[in-house]
Amino acid sequence: MDSDDIETVIEIAASPEAVWRVMTDTALVWRWMGGFGFRPRVGHTFVMQPSRRRREAGDLTDAIPCRLEVLDPRRRLRFSWTYPGRPPTDVAIALTPIPGGVHVRLTHSGWDAFEAELEPAEVELAMLAIGEAWANEALPALKTLAEG
């Protein structure tokens, strides 16, 4: 992990199979991650709507294009995340079984490519907002769905 990566960790009291199902079920991905058009196939493209209000309305304005890069069942998922007009970044989600559940580590990397185009303070602000969304919205929603 690069020091400029976003990293978020959560523990979920559910089996790796249950967490994986929520992470990759087409009908559930939009509920925890805001992913529309997700299909669990390497190379498949989908969009992510980070705005809860727009997501709930089915509005894809300003949605983030993504491409599924790795599917390693019950272990790891990786996809590109491309903010419009910027270079792609990489989101990796790793599952590790622990007693009573699963340790989930999300790493969002590739921000060094932004540094050539934006001021360091702008990159830091963007990473802070995106990191908070992963930590305070997406992963807690994954936890709620998997434990429910």
Tens-digit pLDDT profile for residues 67-76 = 999 999 999 9
Query: In what side-by-side order are the strands of the sheet with 6-12?
Result: 6-12, 101-109, 89-98, 76-81, 64-72, 45-48, 35-36
pTM for the whole thing? 0.92
Structural domains for the chain: 6-147 (3.30.530.20)
Is the pLDDT at 123 greater than 60, yes or no? Answer: yes
| Mean pLDDT (whole number) for 54-70 | 91
